[in-house]
């Protein structure tokens, strides 16, 4: 045996453990995808054909609203594993750097969120009736989605840790999560609207900055406050 655990090696160990657990229970990943698929189909068939300019706005709105609802399902269960069989308590008795714990959770949720994000994006495009290549403005869209996911993931992990031991966590999580996700959601909506209308350069008008500011704020808040929540 070689002794001595650095923050990075603890991060790797926890991340590997979390990935293995995630892959072992595919239901956790599939449930949000099913939710987004069904919601988008219902919205598309329920609303029917719309004029082109309204259709673009509707597509954008339903994409992000569905995405955030589907992701909230996933975020609210981020700490299900830790609550099993005293794993969380046992981790607290180890010499664990809270930052490596937060970083591992963040990395896992950010990665796995794409398994919801990509199908939601594809479903939304398929059922929107918008003409054009699905991969047009690929890099711009990828940037906005990454920034959106980063902010939401940091907030989702932190709030999930806060409500982990609450009896009414199923109610408490959405009550805290949705108001805090509004700035990110609004900024992402406006940024994507610019992209859809081919005005990528117009993003300097402030929405991209707002999105990035909230990303940074939420990630820093998550990293700082996570240690307080897990030690409580």
Q: In the complex, which residues of this chain contact other proteins (CB under 8 A)?
A: 1-7, 9-10, 13-14, 16-17, 20-21, 24-25, 81, 84-87, 89-99, 227-228, 231
The tokens for 167 are 């009896």
Between 82 and 215, whose beta carbon lies closer to other proteins?
A: 82
Between 103 and 211, whose beta carbon lies closer to other proteins?
A: 103
User: Considering the complex, what minimum distance in angstroms separates the CB of residue 25 from other proteins?
Assistant: 5
User: Considering the complex, what minimum distance in angstroms separates the CB of residue 227 from other proteins?
Assistant: 7
**Beta strands of 138-208 (E only): which ranges?**
none
Between 25 and 204, whose beta carbon lies closer to other proteins?
A: 25
User: Considering the complex, what minimum distance in angstroms separates the CB of residue 161 from other proteins?
Assistant: 16
Centre a 10 Å sphere on the Cβ of residue 89 and count the other Cβ atoms it contains: 10
- Determine contact, residues 231/98, Cβ cutoff 8 Å: yes
Helix 52-75 vs helix 169-196: angle between axes, to the nearest 10 degrees? 150
User: Considering the complex, what minimum distance in angstroms separates the CB of residue 13 from other proteins?
Assistant: 4
Between 93 and 131, whose beta carbon lies closer to other proteins?
A: 93
Between 3 and 53, whose beta carbon lies closer to other proteins?
A: 3
Q: Of 75, 100, 81, 99, whose CA–CA distance to 20 is shortest? A: 81
User: Considering the complex, what minimum distance in angstroms separates the CB of residue 33 from other proteins?
Assistant: 19
Alpha-carbon separation of residue 15 from 37, 53, 89, 102, 163 (angstroms)? 28, 44, 18, 10, 21
Q: Is 20 exposed, middle or buried (0-12, 13-18, 19+ CB in 10 A)?
A: exposed
Between 86 and 198, whose beta carbon lies closer to other proteins?
A: 86
User: Considering the complex, what minimum distance in angstroms separates the CB of residue 141 from other proteins?
Assistant: 34
- Determine contact, residues 61/178, Cβ cutoff 8 Å: no
């Amino acid at each position: 045996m070689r002794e001595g655990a650095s923050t990075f090696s603890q991060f790797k160990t926890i991340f590997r453990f979390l990935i293995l657990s995630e892959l072992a229970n595919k239901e956790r990943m599939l449930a949000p995808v099913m939710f987004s698929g069904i919601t988008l189909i219902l919205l598309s068939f329920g609303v029917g054909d719309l004029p082109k300019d309204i259709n673009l706005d509707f597509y954008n709105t339903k994409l992000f609203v569905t995405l955030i609802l589907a992701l909230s399902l996933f975020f609210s269960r981020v700490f299900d594993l830790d609550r099993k069989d005293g794993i969380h308590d046992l981790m607290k008795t180890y010499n664990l750097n809270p930052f490596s714990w937060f970083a591992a959770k963040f990395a896992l949720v950010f990665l796995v969120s794409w398994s919801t994000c990509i199908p939601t994006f594809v479903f939304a495009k398929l059922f929107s009736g918008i003409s054009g290549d699905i991969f047009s403005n690929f890099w711009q869209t990828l940037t906005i989605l990454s920034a959106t996911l980063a902010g939401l993931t940091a907030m989702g992990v932190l709030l999930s840790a806060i409500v982990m031991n609450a009896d009414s966590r199923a109610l408490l999580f959405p009550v805290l999560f949705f108001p805090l996700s509004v700035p990110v959601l609004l900024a992402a909506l406006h940024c994507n609207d610019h992209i859809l209308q081919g005005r990528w350069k117009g993003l300097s008008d402030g929405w991209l900055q707002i999105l990035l500011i909230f990303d940074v704020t939420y990630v820093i808040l998550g990293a700082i406050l996570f240690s307080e929540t897990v030690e409580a």
